[in-house]
Amino acid sequence: MEFYWFVLAVLSVWRLTHLLQAEDGPWDAVIHLRRAAGNGFFGKLMDCFYCLSIWMAIPFGWWLAESWSEGVLLWLSLSAGAIILQRLIYKET
C-alpha cells in the first residue's frame, strides 16, 4: 500500500468520525441521526471520538489491506491516526 492511500484513509476516517461525533451535518441530518441513536450502544458510540474512530476505520482498513493481518494493523493504525489528528487539532490531553 502506498503512503498516499494511507494518508487519505486517515484523513477520511478523521473526517467521518468528526462529522458523526461533533457536527450538526448538512440540514441538521447528523443531529437527527444522533437523536435517533438514543442512549443505547449507538448513541454512546457517537458521543466518543475514540470509540467511533475504531468503527469508522474498519471499512478503510479492509479496503486497503492486501492480507488479513495487514487489515488488522491498518484498522488500528487508521483509528490511531485519526485520534492523533483530533488531539493535535483540539490540543486534548
Residue 1: what pLDDT? 66
| Packing angle, helices 49-64 and 68-90, rounded to 10 | 140
Nearest one of 28, 34, 75 to 56, comparing CA atoms: 75
> How distant, in Å, are the alpha carbons of 2, 24, 29 from that of 91?
29, 22, 28
Segment 27-53, tens digit of pLDDT: 999 888 888 988 888 888 888 999 999
**Residue that has been written with the C-alpha cell 474498519 in this structure:** 58
The answer to whether 1 touches 71, Cβ cutoff 8 Å, is no
Residue 70: what pLDDT? 95
